[in-house]
A and B are shown apart, each in its own frame.
Chain A
Amino acid sequence: MGELPDFNRERIAVLFGNDLTICKQVLDILKDDLPSHLDQLSESIGEQDSRQIYKTAHTLKGTLANVGADRGSSLAQRMVLASQENNFEYCRKLYESLVETTETFLAEFQELAFENT
């Protein structure tokens, strides 16, 4: 997993160019959405609800990929596969890594959005 960045800045440049206003708006949405997705994931793993883990991990995979959270997206993809095998232990480990990379991602995104201000 080491080769994938927590935050791929180029992805944001492709989507929004240098428009920091839009970046800040996306950041605000992610600050709201990502923690609730992660909470949902934690709950589903605790309840060993593979269907809900699959759904939330699938959503996170797309959301994170869109905003350049490459490592997080890859972890979410692994969790999709693990949920299909009911491998909850592995889901728990992936979840911990996901929380960590998401925090880093949000911090780096924040840094980008408020660059030069």
Chain B
Amino acid sequence: MRILIADDDQSMRFILKVQLESWGYEVISCKNGTEAMDYLRSEDPPRIAILDWMMHGYTGIEIARELKDNTPLIYVILFTSKTAEEDLVEAIEMGAHCFQTKPVSPGVLKSHIEVARRLIDAEDRLQDQERQIRIQCYSAIANLAEKRHNLTGTHMKRISIYSRLFAEQLGMSKEKCEDIALYSSFHDIGKVGMSDTILLSPDTYSKYEKEIMKTHTLIGYDILSSVSTLRTASLIARHHHERWDGTGYPDGLSGESIPVEARIVTLADVYDALRSERAYKSAWAHEQVVEHIKEESGKTFDPRLVKIFLEHHKTFKAVFDGTAVEKA
């Protein structure tokens, strides 16, 4: 675990560093408040910060106030030579989790860090549980849309696996890969707004029906865009029928102006749809679909994604045939 220390007194930083490293922590040592703030505002900040009260740049109190409502929690231990009760009360009120008066007491510092670790662990567990619940709720909602279309949950699950594979191959962060895998299931949620007559029709759609069906992208976007945590899902829902050459719908976006999450789901969805039997079409063989996707590179699909698909098409086949090891 990483711990940030910030103090403009060099000997203090050194003493703390030696102490913390001897307990097995990785230490980030900052010589003023500005440097500390930069680290603590970064994408992957240390979860424990030991800050001097009086520092150049930002003071320890100012940093504590800034981090007060931070997610994830950054536990602030305020180091100070101040001993007046009102100062210490102020420190806690402003956002510090605890304080230690100078001189350093190794035993007390160790106890503070132990409390910090417990709190951070508890918060992480809670976040994880909350995320799991959110995933389950979202999956249930996405399932609803699929059920209306008489599709099985396995279609959604496969799209999720294909989408994750693309995201991983594009070098996206673990979190982003998980988001894309989860939110890919929402691409057709707008179909809840389609009438049964059109949605469940066994015939090929008329021109009018096709136009109506196209609105599922906008309906899906409207449903999802009001939820701040579903921004990625809303973009997928809106843009998964755009085409790389700009001839898709609803916005006629082209190339990289189409959100990459949507480009991924477009290809994943087409592969699975073509391989599946539908009321209006029979299932295509894997090799046929590979040829089709190759032909559509730079037309319907992002050429970079087609390249990834061609490198991994056997995995796609295995996922569809149910012989792959599940990951999503």
Known: A15-B104, A15-B106. A66 touches B19 (CB 8 A): no
Q: Whole-angstrom distance from the CB of B318 to the nearest CB of chain A?
A: 58
In chain B, positions 79-104 with a C-beta closer than 8 Å to chain A are: 79-81, 102-104
- Tell me whether A52 is interfacial, beta carbon within 8 Å: no
Known: A33-B9, A59-B8, A65-B81. A26 touches B15 (CB 8 A): yes
- Tell me whether A92 is interfacial, beta carbon within 8 Å: no
* CB-based A-B contact count at 8 angstroms: 52
CB pair A66 B54 closer than 8 Å: no
- Name the contact of B14 in the complex, choosing from A29, A58, A61 (C-beta under 8 A): A29
Measured CB to CB, the nearest residue on chain B to A17 is B22
B contact residues, total (Cβ < 8 Å): 18
CB pair B9 A62 closer than 8 Å: yes
CB pair B14 A62 closer than 8 Å: no
- Tell me whether B10 is interfacial, beta carbon within 8 Å: yes
- Tell me whether B28 is interfacial, beta carbon within 8 Å: no
CB pair B102 A33 closer than 8 Å: no
Q: Whole-angstrom distance from the CB of B17 to the nearest CB of chain A?
A: 10
Known: A22-B18, A59-B54. A30 touches B11 (CB 8 A): yes
**Interface size class of chain A, counting residues whose CB lies under 8 Å from the partner chain:** 20 to 34
A67 to B18 CA separation, bound complex (whole angstroms): 14
Contacts of B270 in A (CB 8 A): none
- Tell me whether A63 is interfacial, beta carbon within 8 Å: yes
Mostly, the B contact residues are: mixed
In chain A, positions 55-101 with a C-beta closer than 8 Å to chain B are: 55, 58-59, 61-63, 65-67, 73
Known: A58-B54, A59-B9. A15 touches B81 (CB 8 A): no
In chain B, positions 1-35 with a C-beta closer than 8 Å to chain A are: 8-12, 14-15, 18-19
Q: Whole-angstrom distance from the CB of B88 to the nearest CB of chain A?
A: 15
Contacts of B104 in A (CB 8 A): 15, 66
Q: Whole-angstrom distance from the CB of B106 to the nearest CB of chain A?
A: 7
Q: Whole-angstrom distance from the CB of A10 to the nearest CB of chain B?
A: 12
CB pair B18 A66 closer than 8 Å: no
A29 to B79 CA separation, bound complex (whole angstroms): 20
Known: A11-B103, A58-B81, A59-B54. A66 touches B14 (CB 8 A): no
Q: Whole-angstrom distance from the CB of A26 to the nearest CB of chain B?
A: 6
A73 to B54 CA separation, bound complex (whole angstroms): 17
- Tell me whether A16 is interfacial, beta carbon within 8 Å: yes
Contacts of A33 in B (CB 8 A): 9-11
Binding site for A on B (CB under 8 A): 8-12, 14-15, 18-19, 52, 54, 79-81, 102-104, 106
User: 10 A-B contacts, Cβ less than 8 Å apart?
Assistant: A26-B14, A26-B15, A29-B14, A33-B10, A61-B81, A62-B9, A62-B103, A63-B9, A65-B102, A67-B15
Report, nearest first, the 9 A-B pairs whose CB atoms are least far apart: A62-B102, A62-B81, A65-B103, A66-B103, A29-B11, A61-B81, A29-B10, A63-B9, A65-B102
- In the complex, given contacts A61-B81, A62-B12, what are 11 additional A-B residue pairs having Cβ atoms less than 8 angstroms apart? A11-B103, A14-B106, A15-B104, A22-B18, A26-B14, A59-B9, A62-B9, A62-B103, A65-B81, A66-B103, A67-B11
